[in-house]
Amino acid sequence: MNLEELAQQIDDEGRLPADAGLRDYIASQHPADIAGFLSRLDNEPAWQILSALPLTLRASVFGYLEPSEQAELARHTRRGELAAIVSEMNADERADLFNKLDEEQQQALLPALSQAEREDIRRLASHEEDTAGAIMTSDYATLRPGSTVREALDQLRLQAPDKETIYRAYIVDEERRLLGSIRLHDLILASPQAGIDQLMERNLLTVKITDDQEAVAQQISKYDVLALPVVDEENRIVGIVTHDDALDVLEEEATEDFLKAGTVGGIEESVRDASIGLLYRKRITWLVLLVFGNLLSGVGIAYYEDTIATYVVLVFFLPLLIASGGNAGAQSSTLMVRALATGDVVMRDWGRMLGREVLIAILLGGTMAVAISGIGLWRGGPDIAMVVALTMVLVVMVGSIIGMSLPFLLNRLNLDPATASAPLITSIADAAGVFIYFAIASALLFGGGE
């Protein structure tokens, strides 16, 4: 039996199996796996299992849960139990959890913690969401300038049990202003008598408390570092952001962009467990906006109602043509939204991109026109085929230009380029397509006049 099967069994039976070996089996698994297992269970059995684990493991497992799951579970605990777990957690995870608790839970928790823990939580939990301050931890190692390598190693040995990482230590003056940093790697290699002032790196990469978490994560990725120090206005170190936080942030931001591209608002908790009301709220706004956006296509059709009444066959090609403009535009916006998000393309590339896009769109539209013109001939004769082919090239070009330019425009207006979602581009391109199609049809089929 593995944890997956066990979760299934508990789900089916609605209670824990009465197996004495169960606790030991679960305790032998990796904390991250135990956390994954618990988050598949209801709160009641999840808490029963969690509270049966040894304290250190319990805190570690608890730390691997999502903050929203932690807060949920916290409701099932007695005050003392929660405090014991919280004391054992990493400083940054502890602060995240604290922010998810309701006020009553917060007030119940605080008195059970030590004063130092309380102050640390208050400080870390006070930073704005999605900033470096909100994801940093205060569990970093510091050294004083003027130490020898031997003294530095002794210092790190003392600090190690409480720190998230000792692989880079920060050298600070009395006011905690950052002077430099040194890798444990280099300390190990150096002579014990050497001074750390000669060995430390002074050209420091740092981030500010208020920096956006995504930018911080991208720096960690770009510079391939284990952690980045966070400093305040006076260059005093206040925390570090570590590589595992960078991974979580990049995953979270990728999800947010992906959902936005599908016109779904950001969902912080698991989609599996999200409520009907939450999902409704995250979806309805864009759906209703797009309904009214699509009214424009209807207006175009109404305007050409006489043309349609005369040539009903035109309606046969309508969905196909307007969808093609939207599809090409969705491709262009997808490429640009991602390229702007990863920094692959910047604002001043717009002109060059646009020129290239027009050429590509002519090639794409031309290919699609050829693909469809046979059917145009068969259903409507040469005139209709000509109208359809010409429209195809034009709608693909217009759709592509809109799709490529809108992300840049949004970026220029300091809005999120990812708002240029496929459905939005499709709506705009649809409306443009209707007008292009019937304008060409009116001109060619009625010999210039309507």
Identify residues 85-124 at the interface with its own copies (CB under 8 A).
none
Taking the C-alpha atoms of residue 442 and residue 438, their distance in angstroms, rounded to an integer, is 6
Decide: is 2 part of the binding site for its own copies (CB under 8 A): no
**Smallest distance from its own copies to CB 392, Å:** 8
Decide: is 363 part of the binding site for its own copies (CB under 8 A): yes
String of DSSP letters for 240-269: EEEHHHHHHHHHHHHHHHHHHHTT-----S
Q: Which two tokens stand for residue 144?
A: 């004083």
Range 209-228, binding its own copies (CB under 8 A): 220-224, 226
Contact 358, 441 (CB under 8 A): no
Q: Kindly tell me which residue out of 102, 305, 381, 412 binds its own copies, with binding defined by CB under 8 A.
A: 305
**Smallest distance from its own copies to CB 182, Å:** 14
Taking the C-alpha atoms of residue 347 and residue 144, their distance in angstroms, rounded to an integer, is 44
Binding to its own copies by CB under 8 A, coded x per residue (else -) over 317-336, reads xxxx-xxx-xxx-xx-xxxx
Candidate segments 70-78, 81-89, 101-109, 337-345, binder of its own copies by CB under 8 A: 337-345
Contact 163, 222 (CB under 8 A): no
Q: Kindly tell me which residue out of 89, 127, 423, 428 binds its own copies, with binding defined by CB under 8 A.
A: 423
Contact 422, 328 (CB under 8 A): no
| Local structure of 201: helix, strand or coil | strand
Decide: is 347 part of the binding site for its own copies (CB under 8 A): no
Site residue total, its own copies (CB under 8 A): 111
Taken in order 7, 13, 17, 23, the sign of the CA dihedral is positive
Count of beta carbons in the 10 Å neighbourhood of residue 127: 20
Decide: is 246 part of the binding site for its own copies (CB under 8 A): yes
Decide: is 408 part of the binding site for its own copies (CB under 8 A): no
**Smallest distance from its own copies to CB 109, Å:** 24
Taking the C-alpha atoms of residue 212 and residue 129, their distance in angstroms, rounded to an integer, is 9
**Smallest distance from its own copies to CB 170, Å:** 17
The CA radius of gyration of the chain, in Å to the nearest whole number, is 30
Q: Kindly tell me which residue out of 18, 20, 116, 312 binds its own copies, with binding defined by CB under 8 A.
A: 312
Q: Kindly tell me which residue out of 1, 55, 295, 409 binds its own copies, with binding defined by CB under 8 A.
A: 295
Decide: is 430 part of the binding site for its own copies (CB under 8 A): yes
Range 149-188, binding its own copies (CB under 8 A): 153, 156-157, 160-161, 166-167, 184-185, 188
Taking the C-alpha atoms of residue 344 and residue 346, their distance in angstroms, rounded to an integer, is 7
Taking the C-alpha atoms of residue 80 and residue 109, their distance in angstroms, rounded to an integer, is 8
**Smallest distance from its own copies to CB 107, Å:** 31
